[in-house]
Structure 1
Amino acid sequence: MKIFGLTGWSGSGKTSLLVRLIPALTSRGLRVSTVKHAHKGFDIDHPGKDSHNHRLAGATEVLVSSPLRWALMHELRDGEPELTLDQLLTRVAPVDLLLIEGFKREPHEKIEVWRAEVGKSLIAPNDPTIVAVASDGPVPGCPVPLFDLNDAEAVAAFVVERCGLG
């Protein structure tokens, strides 16, 4: 399974690019999955649902299944640490390409999504794991290939080539 990432500051457009990139990759016949890091807490469950009540009652894991999908929720209890990316990767079913959103400091190759309007400096000059930048405008001092943030097909072609999936 090949692993490739999208990184960048909050508000830069990582998710927007990712949701355009996935169909550009799957249309090439690739099976694609994603892992997304959320800095803040999140919840995929809803108050009043049975699965939510199971968690509130103290269940460590709740697996919900239907004819369309299944989801496993694992509660980090009693100071249990957040899983590392390597630990998370062992829980993902093998596919052709696993796209990682976030996880800036992990050693996999990444495209940095950068927009001047976010007001943050470019990460790429100081991070050798960033192999390209996608932006909606010029990027002064960009040390790697630069892609138009709105050209998911060009980004997909780069990822496919870089990962040896052609």
Structure 2
Amino acid sequence: MVPVVSFIGPHAVGKTTLVVKVVEVLKAKGLKIGVIKSTKEQRGETDQPGTDTFRYRAAGANPVALWAQEEIVVYREAQPRETEFWSFIFRNFSDCALVIAEGFKSLAFLPKIEVARKEVSQRLLLEEVPGVVALVSDFKPQVSIPVFDLQDIEGIANFILERFYRVFEPEVGLLVDGRPVGLSRYVRRALWGVIEGFLKSLRDVPHRFSEVELKLKG
């Protein structure tokens, strides 16, 4: 499964600015990085009353996609984040080396990096939010986790790489009812070998392929 780490912090603390800089550093290292941002808004800002996509959704269609010349936007009814999160990551970010998230404080299973500034942060979220593994701030509190200066973008990026980036060959991910299932290296290789052998016996499958998607629904 693609590793995900989220940046959290109060409004106007500078999360997006920091994430943009971290993504630029990780991209410069040759990695494909995905980003997912949480919002308190009820709907996406491009899906407003009067638009065609809004009308389709109001008619009961789900999902609804907008396919433009340079991008595709898909609107789906939101599911509980605790059960839908990994399924969403698996379906949309599987080709990424890492996914950087912004927000998602309520997801206890998600590792988080807190962003704090003296003039904005009234208290540290790590005192009440589970899963905080590092702190980025303009002050030095007494905490038991790594603390990075707001300007230490390279240090933050390297921490993320060392802590979360993993290279698996072959890469195999498994979801059962939307929940990720951990696979050992042996199981990953065995599962890939079985599927690869089966596919090579099929006439319409190309001799060489790099990615396979298999979905079982009972």
Band the TM-score falls in, shorter-chain normalisation = 0.7 to 0.9
RMSD of aligned residue pairs (Cα, Å) = 2.3
Q: Which has the higher contact order (CA 8 A, sep 6+)?
A: 1
Counterpart residue number, 2:76 = 74
Moved over 4 A (4+): 125-128
User: Which amino acid in 2 is paired with 1:123?
Assistant: L
Deviation string for 1:101-144 (max 9, x for gaps)? Answer: 11113222211001121142112345562121111x21322332
Number of residue pairs matched by the alignment: 160
From 73, 87, 92, the counterpart of 1:90: 87
Query: d(CA) in 1 for partners of 2:74 and 2:121?
Result: 37
Contact 1:124–1:142 (Cα < 8 Å) also in 2 = no
Identity of aligned residues (%): 30
Per the normalisation by structure 1, the TM-score is 0.82
Deviation string for 1:58-87 (max 9, x for gaps)? Answer: 4332101123111101245xxxxx431441
Query: d(CA) in 2 for partners of 1:119 and 1:3?
Result: 24
DSSP 3-state at the match of 1:156: helix
Counterpart residue number, 1:141 = 142
Seen in structure 2, the aligned counterparts of structure 1 residues 35 and 89 have a Cα distance that, compared at 3 Å, is farther
User: Which amino acid in 2 is paired with 1:32?
Assistant: I
Provide structure 2 residue ranges, at least 5 long, that are not aligned to the other structure: 168-218
Higher-Rg member (1/2): 2
Q: Displacement, 1:45? A: 2.6
1:3 aligns with 2:4: yes
User: Which amino acid in 2 is paired with 1:4?
Assistant: V
User: Which amino acid in 1 is paired with 2:80?
Assistant: L
User: Which amino acid in 1 is paired with 2:86?
Assistant: L
Per the normalisation by structure 2, the TM-score is 0.64
Greater strand proportion: 1
From 104, 123, 126, the counterpart of 1:124: 126
